[in-house]
């Protein structure tokens, strides 16, 4: 069981590296986009909260991966203790592998999609853009008197 958990931790370690790279891209592009577009100023607390969310997500994903890895071993303990087999070990091993791969792939896909959207948004952002509206501004009386 320890070997299987260590193997899961190895997989989740690679997920952590990919997630860290994608999170850095997401946080950087989001921060720069918001600052350059004038939506908000740089906020260090918000940056730390964003990093905290990524860390919490990674830790939870790792714990779920470990939990799924332990299912076949728990099933063996139940079978040996009570003589009742809930599911076959092959089924639980397959379920465990699929669940861990699902966590890894879905996390990377979601974060990569956000990273690509952030990069595209940042690339389309122009610092000297002018907002065009359909509102007609009438000159005030003071401006009329000056002309």
pLDDT digits (tens, 9 = 90+) for 106-139: 888 888 898 888 888 888 865 555 555 666 666 6
Q: What are the counts of helices (DSSP H) followed by strands (DSSP E) for the chain?
A: 4, 0
Q: Do the Cβ atoms of 106 and 61 come closer than 8 Å? A: no
Here the tokens at position 38 are 């004038």
Domain ranges of the chain: 2-146
- The mean pLDDT of 65-70, rounded to a whole number, is 84
8-state DSSP, 140: P
Return mean pLDDT, the chain: 81
Percent of the chain with pLDDT over 70: 84
Tell me, what's the pLDDT at 73?
A: 86
Reply yes or no on whether the pLDDT at 141 is more than 80: no
Cα gap 137→147, rounded to integer Å = 16
Tell me, what's the pLDDT at 130?
A: 55
Lowest-pLDDT choice from 42-51, 63-72, 110-119, 135-144? 135-144
Q: Residue 103's CB: how many other CB atoms inside 10 A?
A: 19
pTM: 0.66
């Amino acid at each position: 069981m320890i070997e299987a958990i260590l193997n899961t931790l190895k997989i989740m370690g690679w997920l952590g590296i990919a997630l860290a790279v994608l999170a850095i891209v997401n946080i950087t592009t989001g921060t720069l986009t918001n600052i350059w577009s004038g939506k908000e100023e740089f906020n260090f607390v918000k940056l730390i909260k964003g990093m905290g969310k990524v860390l919490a997500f990674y830790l939870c994903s790792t714990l779920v991966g470990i939990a799924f890895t332990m299912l076949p071993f728990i099933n063996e303990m139940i079978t040996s203790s009570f003589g009742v087999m809930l599911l076959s070990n092959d089924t639980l091993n397959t379920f465990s592998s699929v669940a861990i791969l699902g966590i890894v792939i879905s996390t990377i896909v979601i974060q990569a999609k956000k990273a690509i959207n952030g990069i595209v948004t940042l690339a389309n952002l122009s610092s000297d853009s002018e907002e065009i509206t359909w509102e007609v501004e009438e000159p005030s009386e003071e401006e009329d008197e000056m002309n």
